[in-house]
Chain A
């Protein structure tokens, strides 16, 4: 599959690297005890440290370190037993200390990788450059006063993991698949809730284009993409813009750009010449962070089965397609649900029911799996009725609709509505014979060579039985009788 983009003068390769800022799940901030919950009133969750009060010193939150190490391990990355917190100095009204505490030359996590899932059961490995811990800034509110800005420091000091990929992606689709997979991994291990609407996961995209085989082109960084859809739009717009500039004989300016989601375009925010000199230096208030190998090993032992491993297991143990397996493992809850349904049953049938019927209904109603009216045990009950021929697959779909609407068990619905499949040979024979007797012309037609009529007869018989006749048995009986 080619990901090359066609310009006026030939084909172009798109090169994308992503920086993802993931808010760490922790009850307190990176260097203070203030709370971190979303949606609090402005400035309710601010300690003296977060407000940059004179003399206040940071104290590292061990939970955040653990989350970063777990994440690094889940990304198959190197965990650095020594890392250093550094100050990134610049003035901004919502950054109270006048610097952000981050990690610069010595991050906690080094190189790793993510295997992303692409259409057509394809996969691609995207390298991770590094992961480091840093403080989030506060929030400026500009629309409450004509001349002044309000500042909310609730987010000031909240822990972020900045996860930097290598420039290994070649299409907006791959970038989307990368964020999707990364988000799934973070949610599996519980280091970030991945909620892009609430800003718990934000992306910056570095985009450049080149003709195949050439060196990397000059890149633009698109800041603060807060949904996967916007990220795809921004990358596609940006690639087209850069190709046009170069084909018109110009050069791309290395700069930082913002995506305007209303207009669907990117625009310049600041050029390389305006770039800050952040004057990074090791934070003298914090000692280097040293971890023991035992600490890292113990965390490695505690990792749950991760999406990629689960996907491989589902394919091998259950014979699922790569696509079905990747859909099921996208969320840990979904995978658990599926495994409960599949336990002791036909796994392919279970996968089919979970993906097509259940997810279909949940998605249409925008209902989260946790609130599904049909439990895994309940869906399993329905599948049992199909497997033991109590009901047909066709009837089962109606039963499922009823289950979803009422929350009742499959067996109760089947009993109450008399939906049990007719497998009594005598009764089926009577129906077949009646339909044949009512339609002598068509019987003659069939016997004269029009074999396609078997489908018409099937339809009539199923209709007469209100769908309850066992279709396989009817098919056999019908062909036998017609052949007589």
Chain B
């Protein structure tokens, strides 16, 4: 791809007149807290106030995005992390043979979630499983990209919540990885389709945790993503700071 990088600052400011923003109906996930639905509706009304037209759209393959992502991402991770073998840099835990060096170094250096992903990734790329998992996931990915491609025929950007719940505590869901991975359900489709997206802090949950709105744009159209993102940011006037940064205790 030989495309010039746009002047993003230039695109900021002004209203959203003439712009169409899509609200994908498949993103209204069952069991999504009301406060998130409310924030989403509020976000849509902010954009409407800035002159945009809100359009309901359909991204029918959305429900396959998360499982496909959790095949493709660990597959790539298992290969990407192979370089951390203790031979050239980073942690090195000696062993009598190269094999032992790798096992000791990687066994000690990687955390539990990384090991889990390396194992899943290795499994889905293995002979006999590649076609059923990795290749199938890549086909799903093509369908997801096609959904978005179709959407861009009617809208210029897509508005969704960033996550289906507020953040959970560190380590809280380690024993339930599926619940943990489910938190990515709204952001993963854009990544699978290779699209630019932004998450803008836009409100607080009942517990006082930040909630985000998420804008997805056309391929290489970061300019629109920034412009819509700024509109949300200005309207939300989100100023809450974590206690640690606000100087509290």
Q: Is the Cβ of B87 less than 8 Å from the Cβ of A54?
A: no
Q: Is the Cβ of A89 less than 8 Å from the Cβ of B125?
A: yes
Residues of A within 8 A of B83 (CB): 52, 54, 96-98
Contact of A93 among B98, B130, B134 (CB under 8 A): B98
Q: Is the Cβ of A52 less than 8 Å from the Cβ of B88?
A: yes
Which residue in chain A gives the minimum CB-CB distance to B122? A279
Q: Is the Cβ of A279 less than 8 Å from the Cβ of B125?
A: yes
A246 to B157, CA, bound (A): 70
Q: Does A99 contact B (CB under 8 A)?
A: yes
Q: Does A151 contact B (CB under 8 A)?
A: yes
The A-contacting residues of B in range 85-131, CB under 8 angstroms, are 85, 87-89, 98-99, 102, 122, 125-127, 130
Task: Identify 11 residue pairs between A and B in the complex whose beta-carbon atoms are under 8 Å apart, listed by A's number.
Answer: A51-B88, A52-B83, A91-B85, A91-B98, A91-B99, A98-B82, A99-B82, A277-B126, A279-B125, A279-B127, A280-B130
Residues of B within 8 A of A91 (CB): 82, 85, 98-99, 102
Q: Does A245 contact B (CB under 8 A)?
A: no
Residues of B within 8 A of A53 (CB): 89
A195 to B220, CA, bound (A): 46
Known: A97-B82, A277-B126. A284 touches B98 (CB 8 A): no
Q: Which residues of A contact B (CB under 8 A)?
A: 51-54, 87, 89, 91-93, 96-99, 151, 277, 279-281, 284
Interface size class of B (residues with CB under 8 A): 20 to 34
Query: What is the distance, in angstroms, from B84's C-beta to the closest C-beta of chain A?
Result: 8
The A-contacting residues of B in range 118-154, CB under 8 angstroms, are 122, 125-127, 130, 134
Residues of A within 8 A of B89 (CB): 53
Q: Mark B61-95, 1 if CB is under 8 A from A, else 0.
A: 00000000000000110110111010111000000
Q: Is the Cβ of B126 less than 8 Å from the Cβ of A87?
A: no
Residues of B within 8 A of A52 (CB): 83, 88
Residues of B within 8 A of A51 (CB): 88
A92 to B97, CA, bound (A): 11
Known: A52-B88, A93-B98. A277 touches B82 (CB 8 A): no
Q: Is the Cβ of B88 less than 8 Å from the Cβ of A281?
A: no
Q: Is the Cβ of B126 less than 8 Å from the Cβ of A281?
A: no
Residues of A within 8 A of B125 (CB): 89, 279-281
Given contacts A52-B83, A281-B75, 11 further A-B contacts (CB under 8 A): A93-B98, A96-B83, A96-B88, A97-B83, A98-B83, A151-B87, A277-B127, A279-B78, A279-B79, A279-B125, A281-B125
Which residue in chain A gives the minimum CB-CB distance to B134? A281
The A-contacting residues of B in range 35-61, CB under 8 angstroms, are none
Q: Is the Cβ of A87 less than 8 Å from the Cβ of B87?
A: no
Query: What is the distance, in angstroms, from A169's C-beta to the closest C-beta of chain B?
Result: 29
A97 to B82, CA, bound (A): 6
Which residue in chain B gives the minimum CB-CB distance to A51? B88
Query: What is the distance, in angstroms, from A8's C-beta to the closest C-beta of chain B?
Result: 40
A334 to B162, CA, bound (A): 70
Return the 5 tightest CB-CB contacts between A and B, nearest first.
Answer: A98-B82, A279-B125, A52-B83, A277-B127, A98-B83
Query: What is the distance, in angstroms, from B1's C-beta to the closest C-beta of chain A?
Result: 8
A96 to B85, CA, bound (A): 9
Which residue in chain A gives the minimum CB-CB distance to B86? A93
A164 to B126, CA, bound (A): 25
Q: Which residues of B contact A (CB under 8 A)?
A: 75-76, 78-79, 81-83, 85, 87-89, 98-99, 102, 122, 125-127, 130, 134
A343 to B63, CA, bound (A): 76
Residues of B within 8 A of A99 (CB): 79, 82
Query: What is the distance, in angstroms, from B192's C-beta to the closest C-beta of chain A?
Result: 12
Q: Is the Cβ of B79 less than 8 Å from the Cβ of A98?
A: yes
Which residue in chain B gives the minimum CB-CB distance to A97? B83
A336 to B65, CA, bound (A): 63
Query: What is the distance, in angstroms, from A351's C-beta to the closest C-beta of chain B?
Result: 53
Contact of B82 among A89, A280, A284 (CB under 8 A): A89
Residues of B within 8 A of A151 (CB): 87
Q: Is the Cβ of A87 less than 8 Å from the Cβ of B79?
A: yes
Q: Is the Cβ of A281 less than 8 Å from the Cβ of B130?
A: yes
A277 to B123, CA, bound (A): 11
Residues of A within 8 A of B78 (CB): 89, 279
Query: What is the distance, in angstroms, from B29's C-beta to the closest C-beta of chain A?
Result: 28
Query: What is the distance, in angstroms, from A126's C-beta to the closest C-beta of chain B?
Result: 30
A53 to B81, CA, bound (A): 11
Contact of A89 among B79, B98, B102, B134 (CB under 8 A): B79
Which residue in chain B gives the minimum CB-CB distance to A151? B87
A281 to B79, CA, bound (A): 10
Which residue in chain B gives the minimum CB-CB distance to A276? B127
Known: A51-B88, A91-B82, A97-B82. A284 touches B127 (CB 8 A): no
Which residue in chain B gives the minimum CB-CB distance to A90? B82
Query: What is the distance, in angstroms, from B230's C-beta to the closest C-beta of chain A?
Result: 29
Q: Is the Cβ of A96 less than 8 Å from the Cβ of B127?
A: no
Which residue in chain A gives the minimum CB-CB distance to B81? A98
Most buried by B among A51, A52, A99, A280: A52
Residues of B within 8 A of A277 (CB): 126-127
A22 to B16, CA, bound (A): 58
Residues of A within 8 A of B127 (CB): 277, 279
Residues of B within 8 A of A97 (CB): 82-83
A87 to B121, CA, bound (A): 14
Residues of B within 8 A of A284 (CB): 76
Residues of B within 8 A of A281 (CB): 75, 79, 125, 130, 134
Query: What is the distance, in angstroms, from A113's C-beta to the closest C-beta of chain B?
Result: 31
A51 to B134, CA, bound (A): 28
Query: What is the distance, in angstroms, from A59's C-beta to the closest C-beta of chain B?
Result: 13
A280 to B134, CA, bound (A): 11
A54 to B76, CA, bound (A): 14
A53 to B84, CA, bound (A): 9
Which residue in chain B gives the minimum CB-CB distance to A91? B102
A20 to B134, CA, bound (A): 31
A76 to B109, CA, bound (A): 51
Most buried by B among A99, A277, A281: A281
Query: What is the distance, in angstroms, from B92's C-beta to the closest C-beta of chain A?
Result: 12
A54 to B90, CA, bound (A): 10
Query: What is the distance, in angstroms, from B124's C-beta to the closest C-beta of chain A?
Result: 9
Which residue in chain B gives the minimum CB-CB distance to A281? B125
Residues of B within 8 A of A87 (CB): 79
Query: What is the distance, in angstroms, from A47's C-beta to the closest C-beta of chain B?
Result: 13
A93 to B86, CA, bound (A): 9
A99 to B81, CA, bound (A): 10
